[in-house]
Chain A
Amino acid sequence: MGSQRITDLMVQVFGVNAKDLSEQSSPDTIEEWDSMSHINLILALEREFQVKFTAQESVEMLSVKLVELTLSEKGVDLA
C-alpha cells in the first residue's frame, strides 16, 4: 500500500489493523468506515497533511486510492 502516513491515520481513526488496509480499501470493505468515521477521516487528513477539502471532494474520497489521488492533486508528496 502507498502511504504509511495514511495507513497510520486510518488505524487511528477506524481502529483497524494496518494489515487489513490496502489501496482498494473502501467503506465496502472496511466495516468501521461508516459515514461518521468518514467525517472523522476527512478532519484527520486535513490536520495531518495541512490541506482543506471541499464538501464535494469529501464525498468522493471513498477509497484509499481516491484519498491518495485527491491529496496528490493538492500537491501533497506521499512518497
Chain B
Amino acid sequence: MTQSFDFGGLEATPGSYLAAARQIENDPSLDAKQINVAVVSTYTAAVIRPYLVVESARRDLAVVPTFGPYGQLEQQLLDPDSVIYASNPDVIVIATRIEDMAEDLSGRLATLSSSEVDEILGELDQRFGNLLESARKHSAGHILVFNFSPPRLTSMGLAGPMSEHPASSVVERANSIIAKACKNISSATVFEYGRVVLETGLDSWTDARLEHLGRIPFSFQAQMNLGKALSRYLSAIFFTPHKCLVVDLDNTLWGGVIGEDGLGGIALGEDYPGNVYKEFQRQLVALKDRGVLLAINSKNDEPDVTEVFERHPDMVLGLDDFAATRINWTDKASNIRSIAEELNIGVDALAFFDDNPVEREWIRANAPEVAVIEVPPDPENYAMALQDSEVFDHLVVVAEDLERAGVYQTEKRRTKLRATHASVADFIRDLDVKVTIGAVNDETMPRVVQLISKTNQFNLTGRRHTAAEIEEIVSLNGGIALWTRSTDRFGDNGLVGVAIAIPDSPTEWRIDSFLMSCRVLGRGVESALLSSLAQQVADKDGKQLIGEYVITKKNGMARAFFEGEGFNPRDEEGHYWEHALDGSSLPAPDFVTINTSET
C-alpha cells in the first residue's frame, strides 16, 4: 500500500523538521526507496540530518544517513573497516571546503608565489584522487563530492580581484581538480556546493556562532537548503529523469491567445510582458540543447500557430525544435499519450507545462504517469519554476544527449518524406499525369512572362524576366528557356511551369529561373521539367548543372527542391546547388509521360 508522509503540516523551522524526520525514520510503512547515505566531512555535517531525511522523503527516498566523525577523510575512506563502509552505503558523500582542505589558499593568498599555489593545488589533486580511488575500491556506492564555495573570509580584501591569485580563480581551479577527480572514477559526480551557497548567499549561509560552537558551517537556512539540494542530487542518482517536456502555447510560450489576439496582439518581445515569454523560450532551447525533447500540446487552429512560428520576429523557438506537435482541439490527455507513442517513450517520461490549472488537473486525472509541473500564476516566474521542478535533473550530459534533438528531427523528416512519397506516388499514378515540354517561342511567350510575374511560392529565384530579357538569354547567351503544360485525368492544367538555364561557362550551366504553378506541385511535373532541362543542357555538352535558390518573402516552400532532386549543396546557405550531368543522372519520374513539343 502506498503511503507517504503528510508534508502539509511541515513548517520551515528546526523543531518541525526534527519532529518530521523522527516520524519518517520510525515509520517503516512509508512507501519509499531506502538508501544508505554515508557522509565524510571536514566539519560537523550531522546537523543537516533532519533536513536531508525530510527532503529526501519528499522525493520518495527513505534516506538512512551515517555521519563519519569530522576531519577524518583518510581514516574513513582508506580503511575498509570504517563506519562509512560498514554502513553499506548506496551513496558516499565527501563534504569538504577550501578552508579545511587548503587553508593557505583561503588565508595566505597574498604571500604565495605561483609555484606555491600550483604545488598546493597539486596536493589537493593528489588527495582527492586517493580518496576517490579508495572509496571506489571499497564501495560500489555512488560517490558525491562537494566542490568549493568562495571562502567566507577574504585574505586580500578589496584588492583580491586584481591580486596575483584572486580567491575566485583559485576556487575555480580547485573545482576543476574536483571535477577531474570525479571524471576519473566511475559513478562519481560533483555536488555543486558552490552554487547552492551562491543561491542562498554567503552571508545567509554562514552562522558565526555555529561555526565556532560546533564547527558547523551552516546557518539554519543553509541546513535546510543543503538538505534540499542534496536530496535533489540523490533523486537524480536513483530516478531516471524525464525525457520530454510537453508545453502549451497560449500564455505559455507567448502572452495572450493567438486565435483571439492575432499575430500582432500576442505578447512576445524585448519588453514586459513579452520578455518573460522570450526568456522562457530561451530556457526551453537550453533544455533541448542538453537532450530534453520538446513537444507541443495546444488547443488551437494549426494555421494560426504556424503563422506565429514562421512570422513572429521574436519567436526564439522554431517548429523544428519540437519532436512532436499536437495542435488541435482533442483533449490534452489523449494528445499526450499519442505524443509518447510517436516518440516511442513511456508516458511517465513526459513532463507537462501549461498555464491553465484546469488542463493540469485534467492531465493529473487522466494521464497520472505524467509529471505535471506546478506553474506559478505570474509568467515572470515560469523559467524558475521549470528549473526548480527537478524533472530534468541529469548528473551528467553525454554526447548522445547533445545530439538527441537532431536525431529526432531527422527521423521526423524521414518519416514525413516516406509518408508523403508513398501516398503521392499512388495518387499520381492514379492521376495519369501527362507533361508537354517545349522551348519558349513567340506563341508561348506571353503566358510564360505572365507566369514569371505572378508566381511567388514555387519560384526558385523570383527573377521577373521580361520577354526581351528571355529572348536575349536565348539568342545572345545561348541559354535554354522551357515551358511546360500538364494534363491529368481531371483535365488540362495549361502552361504551368517555366525553366531557364544559362551557360556560365561552356560546361557549367546555371538554372537562372525555375517556377511552377502551385496547383500542380507534387505530381512530378516539376521533376519532369528539371529532367528535360538537364537533358537539353547535356545535349549542348553541359557537364555541370547549377541550381540557384534565392530566398524571397514567399518562396520558403521551394527551399528544399534541389536537395530533393538529388543536387548537392555548394554552400552552407543553400543558395547554390550542383548536379553532375553524366547521362541518366536526372531521370524524370516514371509515372509521368513526357512529350516534347517541336513548336
Q: What residues of chain A have their CB less than 8 Å away from a CB belonging to chain B?
A: 9, 12-13, 15, 35-36, 39-40, 42-44, 46-48, 53-55, 58-59
Contact = CB atoms under 8 A, between A and B. Distances in A.
B46 A40 contact: no
The B contact surface, by secondary structure, is: helix
Given A15-B19, A43-B220, A59-B213, A36 B46 contact: yes
A40 B18 contact: yes
A45 B145 CA distance: 33
Nearest to A57: B209
B216 interface: yes
A11 to B, nearest CB: 8
B13 A44 contact: yes
A55 B14 CA distance: 18
B214 A15 contact: no
Nearest to A12: B15
B15 A44 contact: yes
Contacts of A42: 209
Interface of B: 13-16, 18-19, 22, 44, 46-47, 208-210, 212-214, 216, 220
B14 A13 contact: yes
A39 B46 CA distance: 11
B16 A55 contact: no
Nearest to A41: B14
B13 A39 contact: no
A35 B15 contact: no
A44 B13 CA distance: 7
Most chain A beta-carbon neighbours within 10 Å: one of B14, B22, B220 = B14
Contacts of B44: 36
A9 B448 CA distance: 92
Contacts of A39: 47, 210, 213-214, 216
Given A39-B47, A47-B13, A55 B209 contact: yes
B188 to A, nearest CB: 29
A14 to B, nearest CB: 8
Nearest to B212: A55
A47 B208 CA distance: 17
A48 B13 contact: yes
Contacts of A43: 14, 220
A9 B209 contact: no
